[in-house]
Amino acid sequence: MAGEKRQSEIRILKEIAELLNEGTEIDALLKEVLQKLLHITGLDTGWVFLIDDQGEFRLAAEEKLPPALSRNSFKPMCRGGCWCIDRYNDGRLNKASNIIECKRIEDAIAVQRNDTNGLTHHASVPLRAGDEKFGILNIGSPEKTHFEPEELALLESIAFQIGTALKRIKLTQLEQETALAGERNRLARDLHDSVNQLLFSLSLTARGGAEMARDSEVKETFSYMQDLAQEALSEMRALIWQLKPRGLENGIICAMQGYSQMLGLKLTSKVNGVISLPGKVEETLWRIGQEALANCKKHSGQSTAEITLTVEDEKVIMVISDCGRGFHYSWNNEIPSLGLKSMKNRAEALNGTFVLDTGPDEGTKIEIMIPFKKGGK
């Protein structure tokens, strides 16, 4: 029987290794690994906290948590502190730890909840690859108050495998982002060298045709062609800017000023606070700002716009406004255009907010708020 159990463990360990080697969706991957790990150990309950560089955690996977911990969409597991996370953050949890009394369970008992299913303790194992840490694997079972050394060794070996897989996925995502940036740069260069030059030539040709034409209708046709070519040329330059922004390396306000000049807008800017933003936040604000300024140019009927950027209490607020035509809109109505929806979706993807304020002949104001952690990426 012992031999059969050992063979079963080896087989499932092999399946875990294959999952970790092939998986790319972190939460789904952790869920599958957790299920197989509980099958190996014969234990009932497990969960994984992923923890970022600032010590903020999230519940990434769970299996058979008792009702005391899974109520209200796992609310007890998604907020508040606990001993295993505190030990992880201050460096005391650096290897498989034998039985930690669960503060979350104790909190549930303190408010006289009796649906803990007998779970009182758990083993905690840090997920890491080399010196880089990713979170904690927690395993427990009702009435179990001790893990044998071989059990801890098994948990630690799997935790190392999970950490290595998380490192691989992060590197893969970074490579994809780098490749995407490179492709955007290549496309911007190709558009500039080919289509942009063709449109410029078309504009010059139409202008020459208009000057040489004697018939008024022919002259008007050439002039119309020139206007279309100039409009297409402006759109192409804006697209190239969106693909490969110049000036973002000098800060978002500098990039916005350059983009507005290219659009033919006069942009008044104001900065409150020290602007030092994580890359993802700055990129999101830049993309939202591009869309907002392009809308000002196309729809406001004005040649001026204003932008205010404020940083306070680990949040950034960007306000872009114009004094143009505006349009009918109420906050309880659906956002009317794809561009505005895109701005809202970008802000909410970073747990931010999007507020649109406009009315006929009242101008348009867009306010974006995005939270961030100091020192974040």
With b meaning 16 or more CB within 10 Å and e meaning fewer, what string describes 111-145? Answer: eebeebbebbbbbbbbbbbeeebbbbbbbbbeebe
Do 163 and 17 belong to one domain? yes
* 63: nearest Cα among 98, 106, 27: 27
Residue where one domain finishes, among candidates 152, 175, 198: 175
pLDDT band at 61 (very low <50, low <70, confident <90, very high): very high
Q: What's the order of all strands across the beta sheet hosting 97-101?
A: 57-63, 45-51, 132-140, 121-129, 97-101
Mean pLDDT value across residues 196-217: 83
Number of H helices, E strands in the chain: 11, 10
Residue where one domain finishes, among candidates 151, 175, 199: 175
Identify whether 364 is part of a domain.
Answer: yes
Residue where one domain finishes, among candidates 175, 197, 225: 175
pLDDT value, residue 110:
77
Percent share of the chain, pLDDT over 70: 85
What is the domain-level CATH number for residue 145? Answer: 3.30.450.40
Question: Phi then psi for 136, rounded to 5 degrees?
Answer: -135, 135
Identify whether 32 is part of a domain.
Answer: yes
- Alpha-carbon gap, residue 52 to 376, rounded angstroms: 9
Domain count along the chain: 2
pLDDT value, residue 222:
86
Q: Are 302 and 322 in contact (CB under 8 A)?
A: yes
pLDDT band at 370 (very low <50, low <70, confident <90, very high): very high
pLDDT value, residue 50:
92
Identify whether 235 is part of a domain.
Answer: no
pLDDT value, residue 188:
64
Identify whether 143 is part of a domain.
Answer: yes
Do 42 and 161 belong to one domain? yes
Do 161 and 273 belong to one domain? no
Lowest mean pLDDT among 9-18, 66-75, 152-161, 218-227: 9-18
Do 34 and 169 belong to one domain? yes
Do 267 and 128 belong to one domain? no
Identify whether 241 is part of a domain.
Answer: no
Identify whether 217 is part of a domain.
Answer: no
- Alpha-carbon gap, residue 306 to 296, rounded angstroms: 10
- Which stretches does DSSP call E strand in 168-303? 266-272
Q: Is the pLDDT of residue 10 over 90?
A: no
Which token pair is 64? Answer: 């058979």
Mean pLDDT value across residues 220-234: 83
Q: Is the pLDDT of residue 185 over 90?
A: no
Cα-Cα-Cα-Cα torsion 114, 116, 121, 126, nearest 10 degrees, comes to: -140
Identify whether 198 is part of a domain.
Answer: no
Q: What is the residue type of 237?
A: R
pLDDT value, residue 43:
87
Mean pLDDT value across residues 167-176: 81
Maximum C-alpha span of the chain: 101
Bridge partners of 320? 307, 366
Do 363 and 273 belong to one domain? yes
Q: Domain of residue 319: give its range.
A: 248-376
Identify whether 264 is part of a domain.
Answer: yes
